């Protein structure tokens, strides 16, 4: 039966249908709360709730004092504003691509490994590791957080600015100086709700999820560096490109 489901869903479904079939094109104004209550013969709560749901789905945006509007397609499925992974160098990042210049802050320190980091680096909990925290900015806006961990005995004595945005070149160079050759990289990607510090640092509006990448550099079967990379989910695409050797 469709007769007894919530009335606000009726509003949501009708508006959503009109948006996806193009009756309400991008940029078009959505009927206001007052108009919806009249048109659908529902209370203000239902109208309001319907608008909130559609906004949460990313189909419309509310402009205070003006109204709700159908979101532009470009915002809905954004193009990659930052190319994250390059073609010639898989898993390297190049934030200059796309015409945007990136800047970043970073700070290194030596700490005791937490359980999670110890597991990922195959160390014991409490072993010393070098932690480097980065905040990457594009056009001044924070765009990516990264926290990198290396076993402290792999001699990142003095911490120096990274060359590539992700410091892969720098890492490879530093490692090869200690006789370690990085053989492969493993990444694990998932999405979750930002923690308060993250939404603070990345200046995230409510409702935006983040992409969390756990990246580990391996030398044979020995992990030599692991990092947590956090980017806003709505503005970012991770791009992987890998040749099929077989």
189 binds a copy of itself (CB under 8 A): yes
228 binds a copy of itself (CB under 8 A): no
Query: Phi and psi at residue 70, in whole multiples of 5°?
Result: -65, 130
Rg (CA), the chain: 23
Question: Rounded CA gap, 108 and 225, in Å?
Answer: 14
Question: What ranges in 4-79 are assigned the alpha helix state H?
Answer: 7-20, 33-40, 44-56, 73-76
- Which residue, chain included where needed, has tokens 């397609």? 73
Give least dist CB 80 to a copy of itself, A. 7
Restricting to residues 25-54, name those near a copy of itself by CB under 8 A: 53
Binding residues with a copy of itself: total (CB under 8 A)? 48
Q: Which does 141 bind (CB under 5 to 8 A by kind): DNA, a copy of itself, none?
A: none
Q: Which does 134 bind (CB under 5 to 8 A by kind): a copy of itself, DNA, none?
A: none
Query: Phi and psi at residue 135, in whole multiples of 5°?
Result: -125, 115
Give least dist CB 158 to a copy of itself, A. 25
Q: Are 144 and 151 in contact (CB under 8 A)?
A: no
Residue nearer to a copy of itself on the CB measure, 62 or 106: 62
Residue nearer to a copy of itself on the CB measure, 159 or 178: 178
236 binds a copy of itself (CB under 8 A): yes
Length of the chain: 246
Which among 190, 188, 173 is positioned nearest to 224, based on CA atoms? 173
Binding marks (x or -) toward a copy of itself, 68..97, rule CB under 8 A? Answer: --------xxx-x--------xxx------
Query: Residues 98, 103, 106, CA angle at the centre, nearest 5°?
Result: 135
Q: Which residues pair with 142 in a beta bridge?
A: 137
Q: Which does 35 bind (CB under 5 to 8 A by kind): DNA, a copy of itself, none?
A: DNA
Residues binding a copy of itself (CB under 8 A):
13, 16-17, 20, 53, 56-59, 76-78, 80, 89-91, 182-193, 195-196, 206-207, 209-211, 233-234, 236-246
């Amino acid at each position: 039966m469709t007769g007894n489901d919530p009335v606000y869903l009726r509003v949501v479904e009708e508006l959503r249908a009109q948006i996806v079939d193009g009756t309400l094109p991008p940029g078009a104004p959505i009927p206001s709360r007052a108009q919806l209550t009249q048109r659908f013969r529902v209370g203000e709560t239902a109208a309001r709730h319907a608008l909130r749901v559609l906004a949460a789905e990313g189909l419309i945006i509310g402009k205070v004092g003006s109204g709700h509007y159908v979101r532009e397609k470009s915002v809905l499925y954004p193009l990659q504003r930052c190319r994250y992974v390059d073609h010639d160098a898989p898993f390297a990042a190049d934030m200059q691509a796309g015409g945007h210049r990136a800047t970043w802050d970073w700070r290194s320190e030596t700490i005791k490994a937490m359980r999670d980091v110890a597991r990922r680096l195959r160390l014991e909990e409490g072993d010393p590791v070098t932690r480097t925290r980065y905040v990457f900015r594009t056009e001044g806006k924070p765009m990516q957080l990264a926290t990198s961990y290396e076993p402290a005995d792999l001699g990142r004595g003095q911490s120096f600015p990274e060359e590539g945005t992700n410091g892969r070149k720098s890492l490879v160079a530093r490692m090869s100086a200690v006789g370690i050759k990085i053989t492969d990289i493993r990444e694990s990607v998932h999405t979750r709700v930002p923690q308060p510090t993250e939404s603070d640092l990345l200046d995230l509006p409510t409702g935006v999820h983040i992409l969390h990448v756990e990246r580990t550099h391996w030398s044979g079967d020995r992990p030599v560096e692991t990092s947590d990379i956090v980017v806003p989910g709505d503005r970012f695409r991770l791009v992987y490109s890998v040749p099929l050797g077989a």
